[in-house]
Amino acid sequence: MDTQDRSIIAISSSHGIMHAYLVLLPAMIPILGGELGDIATIGMLASLVSLFYGWFSLPVGFLADRVSKKLLITGSMILCGGASILIGLSPNITITAIALIILGTGASLYHPCGYAHMSLASDEMRGRYMGFQGLGGDMGMAISFLTSSLLGARFGWRMTFIIWGVIGLIMAAIDLAVIKDIPFKIPEGGHKGPVATIKKMFGSTDKTKLILTLGIVVLSGMLWNGVSSFIMVYLNEEKVMPLILAGGLSTLKYTVGAFAQIVGGEMSDRIGRKKLLLFGYSGFALSLLALIYSPNIVSLMVILVVLLGFTFFITQSPMNALLGDIASKDTVGVTYGVNFTLKYGIGFFTPAIGGWLASNYGLNSVFYFFAGLAAVAFLVASQLKE
């Protein structure tokens, strides 16, 4: 195993741990016992994480083109791990909210750097490397859902956050020792300012393709934030699945999704990005509707959860590779910064909308909303030209 392989494994593992933090809170809604408020309050807290996670990705994108990506990824693990420990120790909801802001800020350090590294690692195998990156992220979420139900039921939600906090700090030490930065050429005359860099990003690419891709990114972020926040509580309360089983099904969704990332990355290098986006978003919308109308039968839930995981996550590697295809190398960091700012900075309010819908119209209404978003993503993707 060479240095680049070790770096890719470490970066992908960090991606998984970062995403694990993002779903820990919503995954433990069934065992919080109202300690942090009702479901609408939890939705607001989850949105708070996504707000900082999303909007801080933009300045981090500028940093990713200028300073060590390795140090930024390491810093992400330190902040996320420390914030997770603070959440576990927090005496009240105010401290919890502050810790969640720190967690969101720490998470924002990861994406522009991690995805820029993968994009620069290879032009020919960009889709494959995005698949590895996605595999790490989805496996982190799968493990997070599983541990939240197992550890949470055994030790409580606070200790679960503390354990995950320690894992993040260990990963920071590994990143510092293992990751090797990819050298990048500094533009003649140095880097331009933020406005000039954004103008260059849009000026050196197919503008229509970039705008359509960023539109898909926004809808994808809304779907990711929303479904990951409500899938476990939906299975537990609406489909009357026991907590451990709901956690297992949520884990299955992201485990299947992890391998869908690899399939999507490999296939997008061969048949193009658009076909996979159309297949994925149409399948995801139909799977969400099927989940709403299906009877509460465990075997049927397993099939639908597998379909949800596969159809959504097969779109992620093609979408991220598409951005790498149209970005210039000296603005790749800021391109992914804009990407994740839109994905999570605009999508941050989806859990809050979901919480409001659940409180006023029931959990089924939340998943009708998600199915509608997936249908819109399909329509936008249909306008792309290969």
**Does residue 148 form part of some domain?**
yes
Q: Above 90 in pLDDT, residue 348?
A: no
What is the rounded CA–CA span in Å between residue 35 and residue 254? 27
Kindly indicate the confidence band of residue 370, based on its pLDDT and cuts at 50, 70 and 90.
very high
Q: Identify the domain containing residue 228 by its residue range.
A: 3-180+191-381
Averaged pLDDT score across all residues of the chain: 82
- Condensed to tens digits (0 to 9), the pLDDT of residues 206-255 reads 678 878 888 998 999 899 878 877 888 888 888 888 877 777 777 787 78
- Residue 74 in this model has a pLDDT that exceeds 90: yes
The pLDDT of 353-363, averaged and rounded, is: 89
- What is the count of structural domains for the chain? 1
Quick one: pLDDT at residue 191? 53
Burial of 196 (0-12, 13-18, 19+ CB in 10 A): exposed
Whether 195 is covered by a domain: the verdict is yes
pLDDT band at 372 (very low <50, low <70, confident <90, very high): very high
pLDDT in tens, 91-131: 888 888 899 899 989 998 888 888 777 777 666 666 677 77
The answer to whether residue 108 sits within a structural domain is yes
Over residues 55-62, the mean pLDDT reads 79
Reported as a single tens digit per residue, the pLDDT across 122-138 is: 666 666 777 787 788 87
First to last CA, the chain: 35
On whether residue 94 sits in a domain, the answer given is yes
Query: 143 or 117, which is more confident?
Result: 143
The reply to whether 68 falls in a domain is yes
Instruction: Answer left, alpha or beta for residue 20, where phi above 0 means left and psi between -120 and 50 means alpha.
Output: alpha
Does position 199 have pLDDT exceeding 80, yes or no? no
The CATH number for 125's domain is: 1.20.1250.20
pTM (two decimals): 0.71
- pLDDT of 194: 58
Q: Is residue 185 part of a domain?
A: no
How far is it, in rounded angstroms, from Cα 175 to Cα 335?
Answer: 23
Q: What is the pLDDT of residue 328?
A: 64
Maximum mean pLDDT: which of 22-36, 176-190, 200-214, 217-231: 217-231
Rounded mean pLDDT, 340-345: 75
Helix residue spans in the chain (DSSP H): 3-27, 29-32, 39-55, 57-64, 69-89, 93-108, 111-121, 126-155, 157-178, 194-203, 207-233, 243-271, 273-293, 298-313, 316-326, 332-340, 350-361, 363-381
Query: Is the residue at 386 inside a domain?
Result: no
Q: What is the pLDDT of residues 246-273, one digit of tens each?
A: 777 777 877 888 888 888 888 887 888 8
Tell me the C-alpha distance between 249 and 309, whole Å: 10
* 159 within some domain: yes
pLDDT at 323 over 80: no
